[in-house]
Amino acid sequence: MKRTTATVILALCAALASRQTHAQSSDTMDIRSCTAIESDAQRLACYDQAAGRAGLPAARKKSADATASPDVFQRDSKLTGTAAGATVRSLSLLDSRWELSPESKLGTYNVRGYKPVYVMPGFGTNDQNESPQSPNPDNTVSTPEHLDDVEAKFQISLKTKVWEGVFGDVGDLWIAYTQSSRWQLYNKAESRPFRETNYEPEAVLAFDTHYEVLGWQGRLLGIGVNHQSNGRSNPLSRGWNRVIADVGLERDGWTVMVRPWWRIPEPSENDDNPDISDYMGRGDVQIVHERGRQEFGLMLRHSLREGSRSHGAAQLTWSFPMGGNFRGYVELFKGYGESMIDYNHNATHLGLGVSLLDWY
């Protein structure tokens, strides 16, 4: 059953890869956004730009397209090409992923990537957590597990817009689901168990914003409700619920997401991990840099407390082209909370594998 589950998830990842085209850099347009363009000439130019055919002669207009306003695609972004007098612009990373501007809207119930989707056959650590514990006695392991330091890890993460224009012309409601698994693939002595799987459904209300701070363009403001747990029974049960704010800023080749959150309180007797905010933090910052066809990510997280309650984590990711829709993927994590079961465990993790989708 465990192998069958993994096979199904890996197949889902492969199917997703065949449907998704990653926006490789700030100079490459997300081809799916072209479907929202009503003008034939402008839509053709959009497809040419997305396919790297920007040097071809512009399409000729056949009708009232000749009077279309050249400003329709220029707002808040650099210009990348023209179509018989109408300017087509490249979508930024946040715009293409969250459909912020009017020309990037694709309607509702289009399933697309959210967080990175990857498979890492090698995911190792310097200190595997064989005795998970919590201040709640019911959530403390008494007998150590026998675990390998090297395992496999994979993640699927999808989102879809369920309501466009919640408040008239502004505000889109998205729902998302992320699942990541750590699989003791090489632990034959213990029958290759899944060590930890985290489930994370959430809902996000996202708004398109337009302001500038120190040269950065404020492009997204969101508020959401997030549940994260490992779906296990005591003593290994871990979970929490949060209200998360999202503030997205960007400039050429760079995207920054600032995400403070507030944990929704639980009754103390039912709390699997009462001190989780002091380890998994009260907010994080996610930075993405696109350089050519490579993408670099940095996540910084902290408890925002001092002394014995001061804990945090950092994660570096690097994805690079390998051919087709496949990209190499490297992940380096240091600190607390690589997974829910390890929320108060400090370790270093290094993984290598294949990415099918990158950030957002």
Where in the sequence numbering do the catalytic residues fall? 227, 229
Compute the C-alpha angle 174/177/183, nearest 5°: 165
* 98, 152, 192, 194, 195 from 2: Cα distances, Å: 34, 13, 8, 8, 11
- Six-digit token pair at 232? 């296990």
Give the C-alpha separation, 183 to 180, whole Å.
10
* Cβ–Cβ under 8 Å, residues 329 and 353: yes
Upper half-sphere CA count for residue 15 (Cβ side, 13 Å): 9
* Cβ–Cβ under 8 Å, residues 338 and 198: no
Contacts of 329 (CB under 8 A, 6+ apart): 116, 118, 120, 317, 318, 319, 351, 352, 353, 354, 355
Q: What is the CA radius of gyration of the chain?
A: 22
